[in-house]
Every structure is written in structure tokens, then in C-alpha cells.
Structure 1
């Protein structure tokens, strides 16, 4: 029998400020998205177990498309496995809006199709019963 927490999904959206651009073309480092994954993982743990939990590891991280300052990112975590104290989560970060500085200093657009920028699989742990 599967655990009712499997399939639990949490999504956060965040604007990527220009202060986070580290590279040419206003590119943002991959650690920025991993921080977002940590935030959605924390909410998953709170919702599933009533505890913030701890991020234990990533078993896979794929940087699939660039993240740029001026983007709006949607970071999602889905519980795919529930162990005694561990939870396996699948993560995806999608660019849903993108700045268009070439069209004007504050120009931006909602993308017709989100761009999958980063995917990952990670494990979080929560305290055992009575801890």
C-alpha cells in the first residue's frame, strides 16, 4: 500500500533579481536554484511531517537551460517515496517569465511554454516518532 504522502506537491514562485547575476548575459549560478529546491523541500517536510526536516543529499541534478536575472522561476517538489524517516523528492525548476532587456529596460514577458531549467532528485530526513 502506498503512503498518502506520496504525490504531495509543493510549488514556489520567485523573481530572480539582477543582483544575483554572476556571469555574462545576466546568468545566475546553479546554486540559486538548489536554494529554491531547499525551500520547497522544507515546506514538503512541514506539510507531510510537521517538521522542517533536513536535506540529506541529491542523487541527481541536471542543469538543462540557463536561468537569468529577470526570470520568474517556479520550483516544484513532489514526494515520490516515503521511508521511515526519509522522503525522496523529485524537483523541477521552470522559467515561467523572462526579462527582455533588449526590448526596454524593464521589458518582460510571460512565456507561452515554461522552460525546464533544472531537474533533480533529493532525499530529506525528518525526526522519528517521539523525537
Structure 2
């Protein structure tokens, strides 16, 4: 039995996008230059995936796997990041999500100076699968 629901089926869950924004605190810097480890973005992907599951299925769901993760640019303490998840496939119990973590504001190092970036800087992308309970 196939888990795939064809895009032509008109499933309203396909294309749903959920977005969160978060300030990256200095307490999360682990490396020189106030760099934050990549796991920080993955944790945010879990948060946004939870909201997707709640919106699509009325359950927090469980994160099952990543099939692709790309670290494209650094995330630093003092940044404001925007994290989004978009539903790209709906199965019987599984959902495939595309994730993007983009830096939208960046601290400029000295004191509290920061600026809004002219264009978001894509820092991390990923594809992941979540599962939700069967419904009777």
C-alpha cells in the first residue's frame, strides 16, 4: 500500500508553510566568532515541524528522519533567524517537509549594534519526514 497522496488529489495540507522567527542568544555561541553549532537550526526545524503536525493533523507528531541537510552559511549569536517548514508530500501517516533557516538580522559584533540584512541569508536547508498517529 502506497503512503503517497498524489498532488492532484487536492490535499489542502500540501504547500502549507509554517514560519517561526527567533533571536539567537549569545549563550548558544560555541565557537570563535560567536558561531552557533548546526544542531541549533535542527532544533528549530523540530519546533516548526511540531506546529506543522498540529495544524495538519491535530497532533504534535514525531520527527522520523532527515534525508538531506545542507549547512550553507554561518549562524552567529546575535542573529535573528527565520525558520520555515513547507509540506511537500502527504502520506497516510507520514509528511515530508522542506526546511529553510535564514538569517534576517545580524549582530555587528560591537555592543548591541545590529542590522536587518537586505536579503535573507540562507544558512541551513533540509528535507525531513514526520509521522503522525493513524486516525480511525
Residue in structure 2 matching 1:118, options 118, 124, 130: 124
Deviation per CA, 1:59-110, whole angstroms, max 9, x where unpaired?
A: 0000000000000000000000000000000000000000002xx3100000
Aligned twin of 2:5: none
RMSD: 0.6
- Equivalent residues in 2 for 1:1-131 (5 A)? 1-101=9-109, 104-130=110-136
Deviation per CA, 1:15-55, whole angstroms, max 9, x where unpaired?
A: 00000000000000000000000000000000000000000
Distance 2:122 2:76 in 1: 13
TM-score by length of 1: 0.96
Q: Which runs of 5+ in 2 are unaligned?
A: 1-8
Distance 2:40 2:101 in 1: 11
> How many Å apart are 1:3 and its aligned residue?
1.4
Q: Which runs of 5+ in 1 are unaligned?
A: none
Distance 1:129 1:11 in 2: 26
Distance 1:8 1:49 in 2: 12
